[in-house]
Structure 1
Amino acid sequence: MLNKSALTLALAAALVATVATTSGCAVTRNQESVGAYVDDTALTTRVKAKFAADPTVSAMAISVETMKGTVQLSGFAKSHEEKAMAEKLARETSGVVAVRNDIAVRHSS
């Protein structure tokens, strides 16, 4: 089983590989430039790395998407504390302009 730092490194490597293979995509009108796309992808990577390093937040259950510096969080949290911590970590990430927190909290029955 991977330890937390190995998981963080693996996640970051996977995201960098994704950027490297998709940054050549054509940009159409009303979309971001390639440079802005790469910046947003770097922000997404930094937020996900913070999630992976935090024991409260599940990096696998919460999705992160970034557009023009605005981070959108979605997915499922086990508690309101996890949802709040995910938002806090995203807001504290350098370069993030705004955060939209659309995470749903699963209530155990």
Structure 2
Amino acid sequence: MNSFIKKITGIFLAGMMMIMVGCASTAKQESAGEYIDDTVITTKVKAAIVNEPTLKATEINVETYKGVVQLSGFVADPASSSKAVSVTSGIKGVKSVKNDIRVK
């Protein structure tokens, strides 16, 4: 009976360790805090684009992952694409900007 309890305890502890390792933040998964930070950055970037009169906010999509902002969509001219990158780079918390905006 004593060895049975030791086996069950060992299996339980091994399972708990696997769960803890599986929940750790990896390069492909954000922690809750990182997700919230990225949401705040995305909101600030979208607000900055809306407040920029030369940009059409409905044409530009914004996604953030671990502080890296990806801009996508279509704009009328290359100057708008450059302006969107410039506005985004000025936001606190933005580590880098990936520009996937295409000119129509």
Both proteins in one fold, TM over 0.5:
yes
Q: Match of 1:62? A: 60
Task: Give me the whole-angstrom Cα distance separating, in 2, the residues matched to 1:28 and 1:69.
Answer: 15
Task: Give me the whole-angstrom Cα distance separating, in 2, the residues matched to 1:47 and 1:71.
Answer: 9
**Identity in percent:** 44
> What does the per-residue CA deviation read over 1:47-101, in whole Å, with 9 as the maximum and x for residues that have no partner?
0000000111111110000000000000001111110000000011111000000
The runs of at least 4 consecutive aligned structure 1 residues that moved more than 6 Å come to none
Q: Match of 1:22? A: none
More helix per residue: 1 or 2? Answer: 2
Structure 1 length normalisation: TM-score? 0.70
Q: Match of 1:93? A: 91
Alignment length, in residue pairs? 81
Any unmatched runs of 5+ in structure 1?
1-25
Larger of the two Rg values belongs to structure: 2
Q: Does 1:50 align with 2:48?
A: yes
